[in-house]
Structure 1
Amino acid sequence: MSLPKPVMRGLLAKRLRFHLPIAFAFSLLTAAAFKFAVTEPRKQAYADFYKHYDATKEFEAMREAGIFESVRPIGK
């Protein structure tokens, strides 16, 4: 008694018909999860930061600390 030969004709097309929709759905699900788990909170954090950010105040604090070489603190 011998084993039957495996069916090789059309095997790739048959496997692709099964795996391609699954891979496509998985990639869409992963992209949506990344968007809502990473990018949306990051955008919200940036928006919250810049809502109350005062660039002039920050510049003055850095200038007083002596970070800039070309800008002297006022009164010196």
Structure 2
Amino acid sequence: MRLFSRYYAAQAVASTAEECGVPTKSQQQRLPKPQLRNTLATATKKHAIICFAVAITACLSYRYFIGEPRKKKYAEFWRTFDSHADFKRMVKAGVFENITMADFDEYEQDLLKKLKERKG
């Protein structure tokens, strides 16, 4: 009696599994074996290529989005920069302790006289 009840119980479970769409052992496919040899070498090669590509992209992005505009700003600044006017502004502000505005004006007048004498 037990033998028959086990047989019928197994058959009932099998029929419900088929009805649910679960594949039986004969219908299941085997999973491919994982690659165990050279796993580190292949992963390293893949990551090295990715890192190289990211580094090149970062370098080019920095150059064209940050470096080039910065060079243009510096070129524009030095093209329009007047060092004499900047020095005069610092003297007026009192940055230098030993130079007063009167001393600076006197120095400018002496330079202008010397230039006029040289020209003619």
Q: TM-score, normalised by structure 1?
A: 0.81
Letter in 1 for 2:96: F
Q: Give, in angstroms, the shift of residue 5 of structure 1.
A: 7.8
Matched, 1:73 2:73: no
Indicate the residue corresponding to 2:61 in structure 1: 33
* RMSD, aligned CA: 2.0
Deviations 1:26-70 (A, max 9, x none): 100100000111111111111111100000001011101212112
| Distance in 2 of aligned mates of 1:21 and 1:70 | 62
Hey, what's the Cα distance between the residues in 1 that align with 2:51 and 2:40? 15
Q: Where does structure 1 differ by over 6 angstroms across 4 or more consecutive aligned residues?
A: none
Higher relative contact order (CA 8 A, sep 6+): 1
**TM-aligned CA deviation for residue 11 of structure 1:** 1.1
* Aligned partner (choices 85, 89, 92) of residue 57 of structure 1: 85
Q: Which runs of 5+ in 1 are unaligned?
A: none
Across the two proteins, how many residue pairs are aligned to each other? 73
Tell me, what secondary structure is at the counterpart of 2:52? helix
TM-score, normalising length from structure 2?
0.54
Name which one, 1 or 2, has greater alpha-carbon Rg. 2
Distance in 2 of aligned mates of 1:70 and 1:42: 36
Amino acid at match of 1:17: K
Question: 5+ unaligned residues in a row in structure 2: which ranges?
Answer: 1-31, 104-120
Residue of structure 1 aligned with 2:38, choices 10, 15, 20: 10
Identity of aligned residues (%): 33
Could you tell me how far apart the structure 2 residues matched to 1:44 and 1:15 are? 43
